[in-house]
Chains A and B, each alone.
Chain A
């Protein structure tokens, strides 16, 4: 027969009685007041058995005075609870049933000695009361109670400053539990506040982080040095560093990093969230800030403490004349509070932001935030390590190569990679659910490479989500472009080689080119070539057109362009494609585009291509980790990854134009757009290849002679040829009716009469002249 658990009786508050029916008591050979261990799913609870006053069987009520810590954590009283804690201590008894076997009678001797840890409500009480008094108090409160080793005794009901007592050990031979009597000697272990005791219990389990070891170590050092070597710091006369600012794009794991560090050091953790601090009344926000600092100060009395301000840019924006007064007041309050921390107080402030430029400059000086740690978008090796740690618990099949995945996931941050892993696992589940259900338990349980590949399509990198230049295009393979073999080779050399053969390039001591300019008459597959190059390598591909760039606001175009490059750098290796670059920037020399905007855009572009350097906030990875890492296990693959990382740090710019003469000469010098590639109109062989490509899906009559057509279509561009094929097919439909089965040669010839070549010999001559002149120019 099950026992139904009822909420405890108010009469029994403060005791540790467990009310049972007499029949159950007899069955378990329990006497009145004899100890009994109630085993619950969440933990155990030590009680004394008493008969119910109505003598009814089948019910159970018990007081949770002496329980395992895990069980009592759920029942910790709220700070405001005060005397009414009895009501809050009710176990969540909704529909809880117990088996007889879950009641275990114990034999308990009288204790000779025991050692307890005292938990008090506030640290102020802890400071002001003497330990002797606390010891006496603890003794009085425990007398007459049965206690169990490692259990937490709730004495909050007595209304003294002692809230809980944790029994550290009982000295009574093999018995784990015993009765505290007036003769028991009580040793005081330590005195803590309830809050501090609760902290480790409340914390979420740490998420392992990969690839941020360096930042982790530096933060940990900041926390631990004042703890470990207080003497040497005092001797040196140095105040310890007090603040660190974490800067990095969203999703790289700044917040999680801080949580992990805090957990590793075992420090107390106080958080300030911008929106929570903001109050509606004037002065309320400042008060909240002060309260958070006071809380941290109180926690710091008992050990290391971290005050974490997430999204500090919301809390502490740049003060300006136009800013509102309340905001300025908050900033001022934060600054004064940070200055007010005495050097003897061992709490440090860590703030995180993804917009360091939006912060007030006064905040970023030593003494406030001493250190600024840049957590950048993970590099190839970091991604590999992140992938290792996020897929740690996922059953991966042998087909998964994390190195390849790391290469493919350019621009992905930690959050993206874990989303990717989750999505892949989901794909695997869906896959097995759709297929054979019987395989679910066995082979089908693992996640394969194909799942990762399909997940890659669903999870785009987050740094590209709100980006200006992201475009979605159908992948084009090199084979889809007829002819132009030497142009293809050059493009492959510029884009694919650094990715595929980094060691060869490093051996020869060359860097990949910075930029490529494709020029040539319109319709000769310049854009398609770039598409093919982008889809052949796993680069991020960003593109910008003139329409996206220009805006009616002053300075907006320049900012858009700079942002495009910033994002491209964040998720390098990447390709930035600027189509019709002549319309975007023009040339400074000729009088045509002195409009100002174009000249400014040009100057931004020139700077981005080959400027002095980048902002510190865009830093990624570091050489230090690579060296320390490489010493131990320098496998060939790892070395290759390193080389690849070195080779592909940069952004590759590909520009296309059909008016190269309109470009500024500064843009065309080596180091900016080094490779200037002429994309010529197709030769006869190329034309044949193009015609073959476009007529692949067309039912051609046997009399169609593509070679003949290729010779006849001199000065036709690729686009012209495509339109010729289309025209021929339409003509066939027009003349023979809708049921026509093949396209005949005569249709092609007729179409040839209608379609005229878009290029002229004069044009081509101009391009060729330019070609030679630009060569001499550069």
Chain B
């Protein structure tokens, strides 16, 4: 019985790690698409600020009627477009996050169901080709937490943006970039490397 449970758990773990690997690439590409959008958002904010500061009547452009309002409208509209694109990307990120969460949660459910048959000693046992079940569970939980927090942080950053607060908008690209946490990312890739033999040993 315990052998069976162990086998099914290992199978599930493999599945989980494979999907994590896939999700990771999706996440990375979605994130990459976001950064140009954010820099353009920052750029637009800068333009808006410049527009606010300049006295158009003192320039040769004074001939054009309502130039200030028109430009303002144009820029705000552009910012809106960028934001809506970003929201789309965020939706993509959320899908990735949700799928990881779901998988990991299901895995923990499975472990809990079978935990009566699983000896703790066998769960913490490591071998040359496969890490222990406890380690793998831990890595998956860490990865799930990482993606969840990343999503929360990024979405709350976007939520905080207001059209009237230009400084917040200007600094958005920088703060977006500062949310990257390479060390945590690295730990996930480390974990994936460590399970590579385990994944192949089907």
Contacts and interface: CB of A to CB of B under 8 A. Distances in A.
Contacts of B115: 31-32, 34
A158 B137 contact: no
Given A31-B115, A143-B101, A160 B153 contact: yes
B156 interface: yes
Contacts of B137: 32-33
A50 B101 CA distance: 19
A51 B134 contact: yes
A158 B149 contact: yes
Interface residues of B, number: 32
B145 A133 contact: no
Interface of A: 11, 14-15, 17, 22, 25-26, 31-34, 50-51, 53, 55, 128-129, 133, 137, 140-141, 143-144, 158-161, 181-182
B148 A143 contact: yes
Contacts of B159: 129, 133
B151 interface: yes
Interface on chain B toward A: helix, strand, loop, or mixed SS?
helix
B170 interface: no
A53 B135 contact: yes
Given A50-B134, A51-B124, A31 B152 contact: no
20 contacts: A11-B187, A15-B141, A26-B121, A31-B111, A32-B111, A32-B123, A32-B133, A32-B134, A33-B108, A34-B112, A51-B124, A55-B124, A128-B162, A133-B156, A137-B156, A140-B148, A144-B105, A144-B141, A160-B156, A182-B105
B120 A181 contact: no
Contacts of A140: 148, 151-152
B160 interface: yes
A11 B141 CA distance: 12
B202 to A, nearest CB: 23
The interface residues of chain A, by DSSP majority, are classed as loop
Interface string B125-151: 000000001110110011011001101
Interface of B: 101-102, 105, 108, 111-112, 115, 118, 120-121, 123-124, 133-135, 137-138, 141-142, 144-145, 148-149, 151-153, 156, 159-160, 162, 179, 187
A55 B120 CA distance: 11
Contacts of A55: 124
Contacts of A137: 152, 156
A32 B122 CA distance: 12
Contacts of B120: 22, 25-26, 31-32, 51
A141 B118 CA distance: 30
Given A50-B134, A160-B152, A160-B156, 20 more contacts: A15-B145, A22-B120, A22-B124, A26-B120, A31-B111, A32-B120, A32-B133, A33-B111, A33-B137, A34-B112, A51-B120, A51-B134, A53-B135, A55-B124, A128-B160, A133-B159, A143-B148, A144-B105, A144-B141, A158-B149
A658 B123 CA distance: 107
A144 B145 contact: yes
A704 B32 CA distance: 123
A350 to B, nearest CB: 36
Contacts of B101: 143-144, 182
A465 B179 CA distance: 63
Interface centre among A15, A17, A32, A144 (most CB of B within 10 A): A32
A127 to B, nearest CB: 12
A120 to B, nearest CB: 12
A34 B123 CA distance: 14
A53 B194 CA distance: 15
Contacts of B121: 22, 26
A110 B159 CA distance: 30
B121 to A, nearest CB: 7
B105 A181 contact: yes
A128 B105 CA distance: 34
B122 to A, nearest CB: 11
Contacts of B142: 11, 15
A493 to B, nearest CB: 83
Contacts of A182: 101-102, 105
B76 to A, nearest CB: 19
Contacts of B148: 140, 143-144
Contacts of A53: 135
B112 A158 contact: no
Contacts of B135: 53
Contacts of B145: 14-15, 144
A472 B102 CA distance: 86
A15 B124 CA distance: 20
A658 B195 CA distance: 111
B90 to A, nearest CB: 13
B135 to A, nearest CB: 7
A50 B138 contact: yes
A31 B141 CA distance: 15
Contacts of A31: 111-112, 115, 118, 120
Given A15-B141, A25-B120, A50-B134, A159 B153 contact: yes
Contacts of B141: 15, 33, 144
- Give the one of B121, B135, B149 with max A CB within 10 A: B149
